[in-house]
Chains A and B, each alone.
Chain A
Amino acid sequence: MTVRVRISQLIVLAAFVAGWQLITYFKLVSRFILPGPYLVGVTFVEMLGAKGFAEIPRGIYPQLMITLGEIGGAIALGTAVALPLGFAIGMKRRVSDIYEPIVYLLYAIPGIVLYPVIYLVFGIGAPSKILYGAFLATWLITISTIAGLRQINPQYFRLAKSLKLSNMSAMFKVIVPAAAPSIISGFRLGLAHAIVGVIAGEIIASNTGLGYVIVYSSELLDLNLTYSVILLVLLIGFVLVEISRLIERRFLAHAA
């Protein structure tokens, strides 16, 4: 990236914040709908301090930990389902010809319509958020696992055979490393979807977590707080996805 690009990126960001400030300054949008970036910034800092304990039920940090825990559970469950499923379907050409289209159609289901079913069965606690986040994440990871396995050069299989590798070592020395880049990029997309799922679950039906705090504070019309929590959620999403991108880069460097 050239310096010119970096500077332009900063200008775009500054223009965004300035535009936001101007819209609220000239009252194009009521401050009961959108408070300005300055106020939100101040409240964000306050929220991480005393205000976070006084005005948020249970306090901001416990709520943050609940949401992070649910995201962790969702991506773990999603991966734990997707990897065996992906390998079961992707290892044999015949099987993947049959079931890959079905997995694609499952991914095409707007998952949100299943959320009421999930909270009907599992209640409004953490399990339903984890399950819903996992559901959104799992198809992407399954699809990318199948794709990763299908695009392996058939020569690799023949090589493993002529080297007389056992099934186990062929799996972990040849097949998994060859499919890893695709699986990991699927994991990154799955993580983003798991975050969306958990937050969506908290916003629609919950009494804990950051999504709940967003709804709670907006119902009290404490919008400075609402937008501060939104900012926090966006930051979490950004940081988690960036971390997985870094991991992906490391693995891709290894594969190259």
Chain B
Amino acid sequence: MRLSKNQLVNLAVQIASIGAIILVWQLLVEFKVVSTLLLSPPTVVFPHFWSLLSYVSGDANVPFGFEQTLAIIALAVIIVVVIGTFLGFLIGSIRFVRNVMEEYIVAVYALPKITLIPFFWLLFGVSLNYRLGFGVLNGVFPLVIVTMYAAGGVDPALMKMAKSIGASRRERLFKVFLPSMVPSLMSGIRIGFVTTFSAVVTAEMFVGHTGIGFLARDFTNNFQTAELYGVVLATIIVAVTVNLMLLGIEKYLTRWKSLSLI
């Protein structure tokens, strides 16, 4: 992919802005505007952050399972995508079912499902299933909603045109119907990923003794500020990287969009 001059300038300004924020962060501590008890400078946080990330690639210096959380999230997202698209497709492609269920699903999506944490905890105990179950419950709704709307919202004109130029049933499904759902599905997966990520970490923060959520809570309670910011930074980097990768996949899968006639 070639970047135009304009895009290069934009990228440079974006990187400079993020750099400026890191600089301000360092200066805030350097000039003692904020106590190091509350905010560790980037130079101190970076080693902790790096040891967490390198642990993921096998260097076992940091206990408590940063990578365990990531594995649970990966599993939860797979379950969420499978269940969510299946249910969304089922509900969205039958008009009557969609009319009945739409309001319920949208309402439940907006509700604070975190209130159900005690239920999950009591049901599963402090186990992997507890985090997995709670993550799936939270992540599945965005996907159901997005798939539901995408399945119901495929442009009938497109389907008609495909039929009139003689596309078989199979071709219409795989070459028109599914590709036209891809953009909304991918954004659903991105939202589902963030929601699942948050939910799993929330579950760990509430109860348990491993994982990102536990680490963050424990470091806070012990005033291990530098370690805390290390965890936060590592989490943000992982989440943002996965998001960018999903965006890249989305761009690749929807490259036909740039061929639009307009």
Interface pair A112/B202, CB less than 8 Å apart: yes
With A105-B244, A113-B201 known, 15 other A-B pairs at CB within 8 A are: A29-B123, A33-B119, A34-B122, A110-B197, A110-B235, A112-B201, A113-B213, A115-B205, A121-B38, A196-B114, A199-B114, A200-B112, A223-B122, A229-B115, A233-B112
Choose from B6, B14, B96, B190 the contact partner of A101 (Cβ within 8 Å).
Answer: B14
Number of interface residues of A (CB under 8 A): 52
Binds B, one of A149-157, A160-168, A175-183, A211-219: A211-219
Interface pair B232/A230, CB less than 8 Å apart: no
Chain B nearest CB from A177 CB (Å) reads 26
Residues 108-164 (chain A) with a chain B CB within 8 angstroms: 108-117, 119-121
Interface pair B123/A113, CB less than 8 Å apart: no
User: Mind listing 26 A-B residue pairs with CB under 8 Å?
Assistant: A5-B100, A8-B96, A34-B123, A98-B10, A105-B240, A109-B235, A109-B236, A112-B201, A112-B202, A113-B212, A115-B205, A116-B219, A121-B38, A192-B110, A192-B111, A196-B113, A200-B114, A200-B202, A204-B202, A204-B206, A211-B114, A218-B118, A226-B118, A233-B115, A234-B112, A234-B115
Known: A8-B100, A9-B103, A105-B243. A196 touches B38 (CB 8 A): no
Give Cα A109–Cα B198 distance, bound, in whole angstroms.
9
Interface pairs A-B: 9 shortest CB-CB: A116-B220, A218-B118, A192-B110, A110-B198, A108-B243, A110-B197, A116-B216, A33-B122, A230-B115
Known: A120-B220, A204-B202. A33 touches B17 (CB 8 A): no
Which secondary structure dominates chain A's binding surface?
helix
Q: Is B116 in the interface zone, CB < 8 Å from A?
A: yes
Chain A hits for B114, CB < 8 A: 196, 199-200, 203, 211
Spell out B's residues near A (CB within 8 Å): 6, 10, 13-14, 17-18, 38-39, 96, 99-101, 103-104, 107, 110-119, 122-123, 190, 194, 197-198, 201-202, 205-206, 212-213, 216-217, 219-220, 223, 225, 228-229, 231-232, 235-236, 239-240, 243-244
